[in-house]
Amino acid sequence: MAEAGFPQPTQSPGINLAEGKEAFQSSSILGMVASHAVDGNTDGDYNENSCTHTTQGTRDPAWWVDLGQSYTIGRVVIFNRQDCCQERINPFNIHIGASSRNPVTNPKCGGDYEMDVNQPSISILCQGMTGRYVGVRLPGSHRTLALCEVQVFSDVLPSAELNTTPTPAPGINIAEGKEAFQSSSILGMVASHAVDGNTDGDYNENSCTHTTQGTRDPAWWVDLGQSYTIGRVVIFNRQDCCQERINPFNIHIGASSRNPVTNPKCGGDYEMDVNQPSISILCQGMTGRYVGVRLPGSHRTLALCEVQVFSGPTTLPQVAGYTVRAGDCRGNDIWSLTGSGMTLSQCASRCSGSSQCVAFQFSNGNCYPKSATCSSPITANPRDTFYDKEAGSVPDGYVERGGSYYKLFRTTKKNQASAQETCEADGGNLVSIKTSSLNNFLLGLMPDRVNYWIGLNDKDSEGTWMWEDGSRLKRCDFTNWAPYEPNDNNGAYGGQDCIHIWAGSSFKWDDDECWKGKYFICQIGPGEENC
């Protein structure tokens, strides 16, 4: 959706919107100015005088371009320096928005990205984010930014096609009653059961779909009849058994009818809390006639009890200091702070004034401050909005997941105690990995095969494993021990009391001497619980 005050341009997706536009950066050396990244020259050789370069070793170095007016951004392509120092760019952020005061505080497209240093460029999909300013930022201290070209492409459709895209009310489920399909069916559990308006999660009530068991990439999709701009997709999982089968899953949205689950993905791999009946996925205004759900991989079985699709783009009410999403995370209410007949800003102020409050749900003037959040809203009522406190005081470089924040420290190796002190200085602890989904998430952030301290240790009592947040490792908690570990090195040399992720054993857990220097992972926030 175009920002107020700006006409929405209709550029071809193949036109680089950034080339020749005015560009800026936080500092420059040796004439390697910001404009070099929008001169149309993608040569990665710094000595050819077509790359940018900031002062070496600064905090949060940044570069940005003024596109001249607001555009809907489809993708950003970054060309890295190739003659040396390719690793300096990792990790990096992309920011897109309307603020000219400090463009690299605009909303982020995704999180921290890592570039393959053996490749000259990387293309980042931004799923229709809108803004006049596009920025690249290196989070953290002692960073140096060099860019050899930044290309920005719009995904705006031609105006005639835009004018035919319907925009029903955001609260209307546009999938209900539409024609649906799936890759296979058993026992009469056909695709149409997921668009019959019945969200009952009991398979035996004959309102769920089911594919043949144990197939590769099973899929389901719905034909909406015409193209819509999609705000969010809500999936209701089976509840009587087998809830875990859905993880991980993908959502695809697009125009292709030949194989709809090869259409563009909304986000990446999603994981659903198997204790909750539904999950709401924001798709940031993607456009398409077909919406599909796919389980990637072999030996997969897909069962869906309802799929709801709501039109967008998502324009949920905003409030400073909070990020918003549709739905509600039930429970964890701080009853002393709840209220009715309130405005959104009044509810936000009530939460902001309490150190106990980390989020709140707001609906029709009713305010429900929360002491905890969850990885995704669990109700589909479009009138409910859920607000998480923004990182605010969270230091740079952390990646948000479910209301908590995680960062891989890969600059300096430290012993376990020093690593914990670094995390505490940021307001957190060494990470507590209590669920398999969090473990997989962190593994996905690791760019190479190195070891990382985590927050588990038995320093106080041999064999009594404690997390640095003060909680004890429970039998029902997730663990990922390497074969024959932990073994305390049979007590030799004072034993091994601290746990690290051991790259040499397929990134499983191993106990080691706490004095050794390793990279480490910090966590800010409550994290995740398995039991």
Provide the residue range defining the domain that includes 67.
22-158
More confidently predicted of 300 and 490 = 300
Taking the complete model, does pTM exceed 0.85, yes or no? no
User: Which of 4-8, 52-56, 72-76, 125-129 has the weakest average pLDDT?
Assistant: 4-8
pLDDT of the residue at 498: 94
Task: State how far the alpha carbon of 48 is from the alpha carbons of 41, 102, 177, 351, 504, in Å.
Answer: 10, 30, 60, 54, 41
Q: What is the DSSP code (8-state) at residue 426?
A: T
Give yes or no: residues 404 and 447 share one domain: yes
Q: Are 148 and 83 a contacting pair, CB within 8 Å?
A: no
Among residues 381, 384, 385, 383, the alpha carbon closest in space to that of 199 is found at: 381
The whole-angstrom separation of Cα 527 and Cα 282 is 22
Q: Fill in the amino acid letter for 185.
A: S
Predicted confidence (pLDDT) per residue in 315-349, tens digit: 566 666 677 776 667 778 888 888 877 777 678 76
Q: Is pLDDT at 387 greater than 50 in this prediction?
A: yes
**217, 262: one domain:** yes
* pLDDT, averaged across the chain: 82
Angstrom distance (rounded) from CA 484 to CA 222: 49
Asked whether residue 346 is domain-assigned, the answer is yes
CATH of the domain at 369: 3.50.4
Say if 212 falls within a structural domain. Answer: yes
Section 270-299 average pLDDT = 84
The total number of structural domains in the chain stands at: 4
The pLDDT of residue 492 is 61
Higher pLDDT, 429 or 222: 222
Where does 371-493 show beta strands of DSSP type E?
385-389, 399-401, 404-414, 429-430, 452-457, 466-467
Q: Strand (E) positions, 343-497?
A: 359-363, 366-370, 385-389, 399-401, 404-414, 429-430, 452-457, 466-467
> 195 and 68 in one domain?
no
Contacts of 226 (CB under 8 A, 6+ apart): 164, 166, 289
- CATH code: domain of residue 450: 3.10.100.10
CATH of the domain at 278: 2.60.120.260
pLDDT at 223: 94
Q: Are residues 29 and 57 in the same domain?
A: yes
**Same domain, yes or no: 153 and 199:** no
Question: What is the band of 266 on the pLDDT scale with cuts at 50, 70, 90?
Answer: confident
Give yes or no for residue 1 having a pLDDT over 60: no
Residue 32 lies in a domain: yes
Rounded CA separation 325/268 (Å): 18
295 shares its domain with 346: no
13 in any annotated domain: no
Same domain, 141 and 51: yes
Report pLDDT for 3.
33
Residues 359 and 332 in one domain: yes
Least confident window among 40-44, 171-175, 374-378, 422-426: 374-378
